[in-house]
């Protein structure tokens, strides 16, 4: 498989990380938390396709749960939390907990896991795929968080409500 096809797959896998980080960036996060979150997403996008390649089929058979349900639950929870945060009186810089960051990273990397299940049928360059998935998702997550923060500066607290609503809607769409 040519490298440009792998790169297109990497960019397409990063689009959900971008859109969700754009919504989550409206929380006015600290710069350090933005970098940490982008790094977590990048790491997940490195590990998940390899994990999917090696044990994905087995896990899905044992758990008997569809991955889209996991994504829906995580996005719905984060979206509701964002809307609740937007209703608070104080304007402050949001500090994400490590658990929230790990859940966010998991939510946006489930599709990498799914791609990993079928990656052997596409290429023999598994490690290269994982590296490209990781780098592109890191970049698009950082870009989305940065842009989301700019939107927050322009629109204020309403941007957080919009971002939370977008996450809930995306979770529902992903489920459908």
Instruction: For 74, list phi and psi in degrees, rounded to 5.
Output: -65, -45
Is residue 160 within 8 A of residue 82, CB to CB? The reply is yes
Residues β-bridged to residue 94: 29
pLDDT in tens, 54-91: 876 676 677 666 666 766 776 677 677 767 766 765 55
pLDDT at position 171 is 75
* Average per-residue pLDDT for the chain: 80
Rounded to the nearest 10 degrees, the angle between the axes of helix 3-24 and helix 67-86 is 30
pLDDT at residue number 91: 52
- Cα three-residue angle 132-137-141, rounded to 5 degrees: 155
Q: Cβ-count burial of 75 within 10 angstroms (0-12 exposed, 13-18 middle, 19+ buried)?
A: buried
Please report the pLDDT score of residue 48 as a whole number: 92
Q: For 3-125, where are the alpha helices, taking DSSP H only?
A: 3-24, 31-51, 57-63, 67-86, 98-118
pTM here is: 0.72
| Residues in the chain with pLDDT values less than 70 | 1, 56-57, 59-60, 63-68, 70-71, 74-75, 78, 82, 85-86, 88-95, 121, 156-157, 159-160, 163, 167, 174
């Amino acid at each position: 498989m040519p490298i440009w096809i792998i790169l297109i797959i990497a960019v397409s896998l990063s689009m959900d990380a971008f859109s969700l980080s754009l919504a989550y960036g409206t929380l006015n996060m600290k710069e350090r938390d933005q970098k940490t979150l982008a790094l977590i997403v990048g790491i997940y996008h490195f590990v998940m396709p390899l994990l999917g390649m090696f044990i994905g089929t087995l896990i899905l058979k044992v758990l008997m749960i569809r991955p889209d349900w996991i994504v829906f639950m995580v996005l719905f929870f984060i979206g509701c939390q964002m809307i609740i945060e937007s209703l608070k009186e104080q304007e402050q810089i949001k500090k994400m907990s490590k658990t929230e960051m790990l859940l966010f990273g998991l939510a946006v990397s489930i599709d990498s896991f799914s791609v990993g299940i079928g990656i052997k049928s596409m290429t023999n360059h598994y490690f290269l795929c994982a590296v490209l998935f990781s780098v592109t998702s890191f970049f698009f997550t950082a870009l989305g968080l940065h842009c989301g923060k700019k939107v927050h500066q322009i629109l204020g607290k309403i941007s957080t409500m919009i971002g939370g609503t977008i996450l809930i809607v995306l979770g529902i769409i992903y489920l459908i």
